[in-house]
Amino acid sequence: MKSVAIISKPSKPELATILPELLSWFHQRGYQLYLDQETAQYTNGEEVVPREEMGVRRPDFALVLGGDGTLLSAARAVAHEGVPILAVNLGSLGFLTEVPLSEMYDTLVAVDAGTCPTEQRALLDCSLIRDGNKVAHHFALNDAVVSKSALARLLDFDLVIDGVFVFNCKADGVIIATPTGSTAYSLAAGGPVLMPSVTSFVVTPVCPHSLTHRPLVVTDKATIELRVETGDEDAYLSIDGQVGMPVKPGDRVACHRAEHTVKLLRTKKTFFNVLRTKLKWGQR
């Protein structure tokens, strides 16, 4: 039996209108449905599966109804099981959730027929290491960010790549971004835009004390390590802006490319089509 996981953005009232017709569409085509809690509140009688358990159900694909944040959460839940993701934009910016609601059913028809293209996106494998022990481990589709607390002094960190010291920097924070995440926080902090197919990561200091510290593009075969000194104050490690944990003085944050990728079911729009639309670049 074909199956689909449906993952929705919380508190989107339009879901009450969208979901009945959508579920009927899937039932008519013989799909087993797995709904997260946000989706299930608008339906009756469907199987509810915690988001973090959806990957092990091995659905044929996951349908995300929401914005980029919902997609980032879904990617951490299902990507490690190789589940492709189709994202329909109910948010605002939508760099990743490029399918508009008006094109959802046409795109679903292509997915059901096996004719929808798939794009692979790299993930960061990030570990927080304290006193030689791994105290946290997460995957990031966009970025890993180490930042100071609201009223703290500048963050002091060493950047080390493949065991080689690169520089010491004092800044409000530092971003390690994937090509996918290059259009997110890193871009706002002055980092470059990378095509999703580029095999690199970007290290972007946030408001560095010295203007000579610039964003650095690093091969994705490297291990990127931040050795953090915060004095008497904690810093914070944030994964995709959704998962956070304190960073103590002397902690290390180590990131490298994950062994698995995120599989995105895409429309035929190119990356540059999306950039022109979202960044309001000039049209010919």
Establish whether domains 2-121+261-278 and 124-257 are of one fold. Answer: no
pLDDT at 235 over 80: yes
Q: How far apart are CA 115 and CA 37, in angstroms?
A: 30
pLDDT confidence of 150, banded at 50, 70, 90? low
Q: How far apart are CA 247 and CA 27, in angstroms?
A: 47
Q: Which parts of the chain fold into alpha helices (H)?
A: 15-28, 37-40, 68-78, 104-113, 185-188, 271-278
Q: How far is CA 147 from CA 151, 155, 236, 249, in A?
A: 11, 7, 5, 13
Q: Where are the domains of the chain?
A: 2-121+261-278, 124-257
Of the chain, the percentage scoring pLDDT greater than 70 comes to 97
pLDDT for 175: 98
* 68 carries an active-site annotation: yes
Of the chain, the percentage scoring pLDDT greater than 90 comes to 74
Instruction: State the CATH architecture for 2-121+261-278.
Output: 3-Layer(aba) Sandwich (3.40)
pLDDT for 202: 98
Mean pLDDT, residues 72-93: 90
pLDDT in tens, 178-189: 999 999 999 999
* Catalytic residue, candidates 68, 143, 156, 240: 68
Mean pLDDT, residues 139-154: 86
pLDDT at 72 over 80: yes
Mean pLDDT, residues 165-176: 95
Q: How far apart are CA 9 and CA 121, in angstroms?
A: 22
pLDDT in tens, 15-47: 999 999 999 999 999 999 999 999 998 887 788
Domain 124-257 has CATH 2.60.200.30: yes
pLDDT confidence of 152, banded at 50, 70, 90? low
pLDDT for 73: 93
DSSP, res 89: E
pLDDT at 154 over 90: no
Q: What is the pTM of this model?
A: 0.92
Q: Is-contact 57 34, C-beta < 8 A?
A: yes
pLDDT at 151 over 70: no
